[in-house]
Amino acid sequence: MIQEKVAETPAASGEAPMLLALRNVGKVFSNGVTALSKVDLAIREGDFLSLLGPSGCGKSTALRLIAGLSTPTSGQLDWRGAIDRSNIGFVFQEPTLLPWASVFDNVWLPLRLKGVSRAKAEPAVMEMLSRVHLTGFENAVPRELSGGMKMRVSIARAMVTKPRILLMDEPFAALDEITRFKLNNDLLELWQDERFTVVFVTHSVFESVFLSSRVVVMAARPGRVHGELPISAPYPRDEAFRTSPGYAALCRQASDVLVDAINSTAGSHHDGH
């Protein structure tokens, strides 16, 4: 059973079709800051790709460009096939829920904005809620939930439209470690079942290695891709993987690339994480 799942994981084959290519992408803000410079990045269907880097390396900017929330100053984004915004799910750093709306209404929102009635949306919403282990909480309002539960609602909302690509901007950074590990596991489980593509922004080496099939390390000033590290460890990854020597070695590798990226920034005053 486990063997089968590994074989099915698209990223494991390395032959998955291209979903999106960033070609020579640059972004300069109106205040003159170069957020991104000459970024080339290929994202394949089914990738779990982490953008790892110090603050100010443009990883969030890259995510916003992919989401279409911002346009590149130079270069281009090539999507394979037609993609519209309903194919993109986005999870923010904070849960970003409507505080006045119930959990159900929050998850329903993306469908509601597309004109899907409550009754028609109900099966999809309830299914997503059960996928993130929130069955029974559909009538609660966000303030009645813990930080981890709010983030689960946020993930359910992003996934309810069955997007082809899920963009996550340091979603678990504000959570305590126990909750973060739990959500890491649940996210991987969801990803393996649904086989969407993930671009995951983080500044945690450990988190990126645990989750990803590829870690792309970025450097700051200007924001650019410094290096890439394939994480070939098989899925499913569980708590045993988290404590294995293989995982520790991979973290060491990723950490070395990250330190190298930080040092490559001339005159760096970065204070580290």
162 binds other proteins (CB under 8 A): no
Maximal C-alpha separation, the chain: 58
The two tokens of residue 91 are 């999870």
29 binds other proteins (CB under 8 A): no
Which of 64/203 has CB closer to other proteins? 64
DSSP per-residue letters across 105-119: HHHHHHHHHTT--HH
| Among residues 12, 67, 77, 83, the one that binds other proteins under rule CB under 8 A | 67
Cβ atoms of 10 and 239 within 8 Å: the answer is: no
Cβ atoms of 17 and 197 within 8 Å: the answer is: no
100 binds other proteins (CB under 8 A): yes
Task: Return the residues of window 173-232 that contact other proteins according to CB under 8 A.
Answer: none
| Among residues 23, 34, 42, 96, the one that binds other proteins under rule CB under 8 A | 96
112 binds other proteins (CB under 8 A): yes
Which of 16/166 has CB closer to other proteins? 166
Q: In angstroms, what is the minimal distance from the CB of 196 to other proteins?
A: 16
- Report which residue type is found at 12: A
How far apart are the C-alpha atoms of 49 and 215, rounded to whole Å?
Answer: 6
Q: Which stretch binds other proteins (CB under 8 A): 37-45, 72-80, 83-91, 243-251?
A: 83-91
The Cα-based distances of 154 to 97, 104, 149, 208, 229 in angstroms read 7, 11, 9, 20, 29
The Cα-based distances of 11 to 45, 47, 93, 97 in angstroms read 8, 5, 25, 31
Q: Binding marks (x or -) toward other proteins, 254..273, rule CB under 8 A?
A: --------------------
Cβ atoms of 73 and 52 within 8 Å: the answer is: no
The two tokens of residue 90 are 């986005």
| Among residues 2, 6, 7, 98, the one that binds other proteins under rule CB under 8 A | 98
171 binds other proteins (CB under 8 A): no
| Among residues 32, 81, 99, 267, the one that binds other proteins under rule CB under 8 A | 99
69 binds other proteins (CB under 8 A): yes
How far apart are the C-alpha atoms of 41 and 85, rounded to whole Å?
Answer: 20
The Cα-based distances of 158 to 152, 154, 231 in angstroms read 10, 6, 25
Count of residues engaged in binding other proteins, rule: CB under 8 A: 25
| Among residues 18, 113, 249, 259, the one that binds other proteins under rule CB under 8 A | 113
Task: Return the residues of window 137-156 that contact other proteins according to CB under 8 A.
Answer: 141-143
| Among residues 21, 109, 116, 126, the one that binds other proteins under rule CB under 8 A | 109
Tokens 């000459």 identify what position?
Answer: 38
Which of 85/273 has CB closer to other proteins? 85
Which of 21/116 has CB closer to other proteins? 116
Cβ atoms of 107 and 129 within 8 Å: the answer is: yes
**Residues of this chain that bind other proteins (CB under 8 A):** 67-69, 84-86, 88, 90, 92-94, 96, 98-101, 109-110, 112-114, 141-143, 161
